[in-house]
């Protein structure tokens, strides 16, 4: 046996030094305190910037569709506009149909829906202000 | 209960299960305390430092790179925390290394220790270690007791491998010199 191994053996004979029995409990208490002080912060999947971009894109698409719809005379509805082989009129037909339906909504219903949306918006705003 | 790897518990903690940290504390508490004890030589301080090291490890767990093992990474934290505590102590006695022991005397001392019974060997080894500098005790403990390789000791202490080699060699020699002084009577009688 080499000399190094002898020293190793002698060290292994030394009794292991143990901390107090409640060592783990003490550490975990401190860990939990740390955790309460710095909890894992909620990070939304889509950030504020993302929502803004999505909103702008949605607005752009809606405006485009609206312009497309209003520029097409009713008698030429059957005429097809194609871009790269895609029949736009056919593609946007369901959306166009929706706009037509929206046009037929009575002003009272529209104002009611807008009021509900505004109430919901102010409620969310109020909840956020109270939390911070 | 089935034992999981350190990496498994680390993943669970990072996912938000702080309770998994208790598994790592259970596994490494005595090794951390024992290393800290070798450096500080004071039970209360060693326990406090070992606790601090665990908290530091918990807080910086997200920065742990699996290029090294958790054990090595954590021992580096324990070592640095213990050394920092040591530096805050006032009136640290600075001993000047003076190795006067010859190779023949080293051999004779080793033979004498080898012939002691386990109980006496433990007692004298403990006294010998007490006489060493804190970092010398820590190096010997990591290398001979915890079975860390020279490379791992180098990572833990932040010193170069060659520096670690020299220091372990010197610390070993110094321990034998101290043991020779303690065992003087016995060695003389054996020789």
Beta-carbon contacts of residue B30 (< 8 Å; ≥ 6 apart): A16, A17, A18, A19
Least confident of A86-100, B3-17, B46-60, B103-117: A86-100
Q: Is B56 on the interface with A (CB under 8 A)?
A: no
DSSP structure string for B23-81: HHHHHHHHHHHHHHHHHH--HHHHHHHHHHHHHHHHHTGGG--TTS-HHHHHHHHHHHH
Which residues in chain B have their CB less than 8 angstroms from residue A21's CB?
A: none
What is the Cα–Cα distance from B58 to B69, expressed in whole angstroms?
A: 15
In this prediction, residue B108 has a pLDDT band, given cuts at 50, 70 and 90, of: confident
Cβ atoms B53, B78 nearer than 8 A: yes
Q: Is A6 on the interface with B (CB under 8 A)?
A: yes
In this prediction, residue A121 has a pLDDT band, given cuts at 50, 70 and 90, of: confident
Question: In the predicted model, what is the mean pLDDT of residues A36-65?
Answer: 76
- Chain A and chain B share a number of CB contacts under 8 A equal to 77
- pTM recorded for the entire structure: 0.63
For A108, list phi and psi in degrees, rounded to 5: -65, -45
Cβ atoms B96, B32 nearer than 8 A: no
Q: CB–CB of A11 and B29 under 8 A?
A: no
Q: What angle do CA A70, A71, A75 make, to 5 degrees?
A: 90
Strands A82-83 and A86-87: antiparallel
- Most A CBs within 10 Å: which of B107, B144, B172, as the mutation test of the A interface? B144
Q: Is B103 on the interface with A (CB under 8 A)?
A: no
Whether residue A1 is predicted with pLDDT greater than 50 in this model: the reply is no
Whether residue B96 is predicted with pLDDT greater than 60 in this model: the reply is no
> Residue A50 corresponds to which tokens in the numbers above?
């993302």
Which residues in chain B have their CB less than 8 angstroms from residue A30's CB?
A: 51, 54-55
- Residue among A16, A28, A40 whose CB faces B22 most closely: A28
Least confident of A74-83, B73-82, B132-141, B147-156: A74-83
Question: In the predicted model, what is the mean pLDDT of residues A69-77?
Answer: 57
Question: In the predicted model, what is the mean pLDDT of residues B29-39?
Answer: 92
Q: Which of B8, B155, B176, B188 is nearest to B75 (CA)?
A: B155
Cβ atoms B132, B171 nearer than 8 A: yes
Give the pLDDT confidence score for residue B74 in this predicted structure: 94
Cβ atoms B53, B37 nearer than 8 A: no
For chain A, the residue count is 132
């Amino acid at each position: 046996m080499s000399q190094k191994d002898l020293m190793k053996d002698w060290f292994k004979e030394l009794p292991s030094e143990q901390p107090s029995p409640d060592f783990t409990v003490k550490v975990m208490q401190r860990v939990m305190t740390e955790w309460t002080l710095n909890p894992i912060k909620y990070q939304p999947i889509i950030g504020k910037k993302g929502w803004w971009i999505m909103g702008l894109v949605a607005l752009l698409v809606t405006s485009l569709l609206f312009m497309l719809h209003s520029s097409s005379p009713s008698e030429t509805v059957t005429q097809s506009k194609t871009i790269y082989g895609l029949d736009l009129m056919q593609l946007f037909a369901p959306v166009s149909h929706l706009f037509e339906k929206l046009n037929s909504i009575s002003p009272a219903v529209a104002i009611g829906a807008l009021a509900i949306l505004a109430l919901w918006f102010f409620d969310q705003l109020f909840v956020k202000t109270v939390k911070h | 209960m089935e034992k999981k790897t350190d990496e498994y518990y680390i993943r669970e903690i990072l996912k938000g299960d702080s309770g998994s940290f208790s598994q790592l504390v259970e596994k490494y508490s005595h090794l951390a305390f024992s290393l800290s004890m070798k450096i500080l030589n004071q039970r209360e301080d060693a326990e406090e430092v070992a606790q601090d090291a665990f908290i530091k490890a918990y807080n910086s767990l997200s920065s742990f790179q699996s290029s090294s093992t958790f054990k090595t990474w954590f021992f580096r934290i324990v070592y640095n925390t213990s050394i920092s505590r040591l530096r805050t102590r006032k009136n640290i006695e600075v001993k000047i290394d003076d190795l006067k022991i010859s190779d023949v005397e080293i051999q004779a001392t080793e033979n004498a220790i080898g012939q002691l019974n386990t109980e006496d060997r433990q007692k004298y080894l403990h006294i010998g270690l007490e006489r060493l500098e804190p970092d010398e005790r820590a190096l010997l403990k990591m290398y001979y007791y915890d079975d860390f390789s020279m490379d791992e000791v180098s990572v833990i202490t932040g010193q170069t491998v060659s520096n670690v080699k020299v220091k372990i060699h010197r610390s070993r020699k110094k321990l034998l010199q101290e043991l020779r002084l303690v065992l003087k009577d016995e060695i003389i009688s054996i020789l």
